[in-house]
Protein backbone atom coordinates (compact mmCIF):
# COMPACT_ATOMS: atom_id res chain seq x y z
CA UNK A 1 0.00 0.00 0.00
CA UNK A 2 1.21 3.50 -0.65
CA UNK A 3 2.53 5.61 2.16
CA UNK A 4 -0.06 8.08 3.37
CA UNK A 5 0.60 11.67 2.44
CA UNK A 6 -0.48 14.72 4.35
CA UNK A 7 -2.67 17.33 2.70
CA UNK A 8 0.27 19.67 2.15
CA UNK A 9 2.21 17.08 0.12
CA UNK A 10 -0.67 16.25 -2.21
CA UNK A 11 -0.63 18.04 -5.52
CA UNK A 12 -3.89 18.34 -7.41
CA UNK A 13 -2.30 17.43 -10.73
CA UNK A 14 -1.15 14.03 -9.49
CA UNK A 15 -4.55 12.99 -8.12
CA UNK A 16 -7.33 11.29 -9.95
CA UNK A 17 -10.88 11.71 -8.80
CA UNK A 18 -11.03 8.28 -7.29
CA UNK A 19 -7.70 8.67 -5.50
CA UNK A 20 -8.67 12.12 -4.24
CA UNK A 21 -11.94 10.91 -2.75
CA UNK A 22 -10.21 7.96 -1.11
CA UNK A 23 -7.62 10.23 0.53
CA UNK A 24 -10.32 12.62 1.74
CA UNK A 25 -12.18 9.69 3.32
CA UNK A 26 -9.00 8.44 5.03
CA UNK A 27 -8.25 11.91 6.40
CA UNK A 28 -11.84 12.35 7.54
CA UNK A 29 -11.73 8.94 9.21
CA UNK A 30 -8.53 9.83 11.11
CA UNK A 31 -10.01 13.13 12.19
CA UNK A 32 -13.18 11.39 13.34
CA UNK A 33 -11.18 8.84 15.36
CA UNK A 34 -9.23 11.64 17.06
CA UNK A 35 -12.47 13.46 17.86
CA UNK A 36 -13.99 10.26 19.21
CA UNK A 37 -10.94 9.53 21.36
CA UNK A 38 -10.98 13.10 22.64
CA UNK A 39 -14.71 12.89 23.30
CA UNK A 40 -14.25 9.56 25.07
CA UNK A 41 -11.57 11.11 27.28
CA UNK A 42 -13.75 14.12 27.98
CA UNK A 43 -16.69 11.86 28.73
CA UNK A 44 -14.51 9.82 31.07
CA UNK A 45 -13.36 12.99 32.83
CA UNK A 46 -16.94 14.23 33.01
CA UNK A 47 -18.08 10.87 34.42
CA UNK A 48 -15.26 10.95 36.94
CA UNK A 49 -16.12 14.51 37.95
CA UNK A 50 -19.82 13.63 38.15
CA UNK A 51 -19.05 10.52 40.20
CA UNK A 52 -16.87 12.59 42.53
CA UNK A 53 -19.59 15.20 42.91
CA UNK A 54 -22.22 12.53 43.55
CA UNK A 55 -19.99 10.78 46.11
CA UNK A 56 -19.48 14.11 47.91
CA UNK A 57 -23.23 14.71 47.86
CA UNK A 58 -23.87 11.18 49.19
CA UNK A 59 -21.28 11.70 51.92
CA UNK A 60 -22.89 15.00 52.88
CA UNK A 61 -26.33 13.41 53.05
CA UNK A 62 -24.98 10.52 55.12
CA UNK A 63 -23.44 13.02 57.55
CA UNK A 64 -26.76 14.89 57.80
CA UNK A 65 -28.58 11.62 58.40
CA UNK A 66 -26.10 10.61 61.11
CA UNK A 67 -26.48 14.02 62.78
CA UNK A 68 -30.27 13.71 62.63
CA UNK A 69 -30.12 10.21 64.15
CA UNK A 70 -27.86 11.42 66.95
CA UNK A 71 -30.15 14.40 67.65
CA UNK A 72 -33.19 12.11 67.71
CA UNK A 73 -31.44 9.67 70.05
CA UNK A 74 -30.34 12.53 72.35
CA UNK A 75 -33.87 13.93 72.48
CA UNK A 76 -35.29 10.45 73.14
CA UNK A 77 -32.88 9.88 76.04
CA UNK A 78 -33.65 13.32 77.43
CA UNK A 79 -37.39 12.58 77.29
CA UNK A 80 -36.90 9.20 78.97
CA UNK A 81 -34.93 10.82 81.78
CA UNK A 82 -37.60 13.47 82.22
CA UNK A 83 -40.33 10.80 82.30
CA UNK A 84 -38.39 8.86 84.95
CA UNK A 85 -37.97 12.01 87.06
CA UNK A 86 -41.67 12.85 86.76
CA UNK A 87 -42.62 9.28 87.70
CA UNK A 88 -40.40 9.51 90.79
CA UNK A 89 -41.99 12.85 91.76
CA UNK A 90 -45.49 11.46 91.19
CA UNK A 91 -44.71 8.44 93.35
CA UNK A 92 -43.42 10.77 96.09
CA UNK A 93 -46.63 12.82 95.93
CA UNK A 94 -48.75 9.65 96.10
CA UNK A 95 -46.85 8.46 99.17
CA UNK A 96 -47.32 11.84 100.87
CA UNK A 97 -51.04 11.81 100.06
CA UNK A 98 -51.38 8.28 101.45
CA UNK A 99 -49.57 9.39 104.64
CA UNK A 100 -51.82 12.43 104.98
CA UNK A 101 -54.93 10.28 104.49
CA UNK A 102 -53.69 7.83 107.13
CA UNK A 103 -52.97 10.70 109.56
CA UNK A 104 -56.42 12.17 108.91
CA UNK A 105 -58.08 8.81 109.62
CA UNK A 106 -56.14 8.49 112.87
CA UNK A 107 -57.10 12.02 113.88
CA UNK A 108 -60.75 11.39 113.06
CA UNK A 109 -60.67 8.16 115.07
CA UNK A 110 -59.12 10.00 118.03
CA UNK A 111 -61.70 12.78 117.74
CA UNK A 112 -64.56 10.22 117.71
CA UNK A 113 -63.10 8.50 120.76
CA UNK A 114 -62.78 11.84 122.56
CA UNK A 115 -66.35 12.77 121.60
CA UNK A 116 -67.59 9.43 123.00
CA UNK A 117 -65.69 9.99 126.22
CA UNK A 118 -67.10 13.49 126.50
CA UNK A 119 -70.67 12.24 125.92
CA UNK A 120 -70.25 9.40 128.35
CA UNK A 121 -68.76 11.70 130.99
CA UNK A 122 -71.62 14.15 130.47
CA UNK A 123 -74.15 11.35 130.97
CA UNK A 124 -72.43 10.23 134.11
CA UNK A 125 -72.43 13.65 135.61
Say whether pLDDT at 34 is over 60: no
The DSSP code for 3 is P
Q: How far is CA 23 from CA 26, 29, 42, 84, in A?
A: 5, 10, 28, 90
Say if residue 5's pLDDT is above 70: no
Q: Are 35 and 42 in contact (CB under 8 A)?
A: no
- 14-23 pLDDT, tens digit per residue, is 555 667 667 7
User: What are the extents of the domains in the chain?
Assistant: 7-99
Instruction: Specify whether the CB–CB gap between 27 and 7 falls below 8 A.
Output: yes
Q: What is the pLDDT of residue 48?
A: 83
Work out the pLDDT band at 105, boundaries 50, 70, 90. Answer: very high
55-98 confidence digits (pLDDT tens)? 999 999 999 999 999 999 999 999 999 999 999 999 999 999 99
Amino acid sequence: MQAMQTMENISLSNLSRKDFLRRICVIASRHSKKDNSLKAGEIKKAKTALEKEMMEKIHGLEMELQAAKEEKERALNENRNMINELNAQLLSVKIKIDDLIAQKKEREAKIRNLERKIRSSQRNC
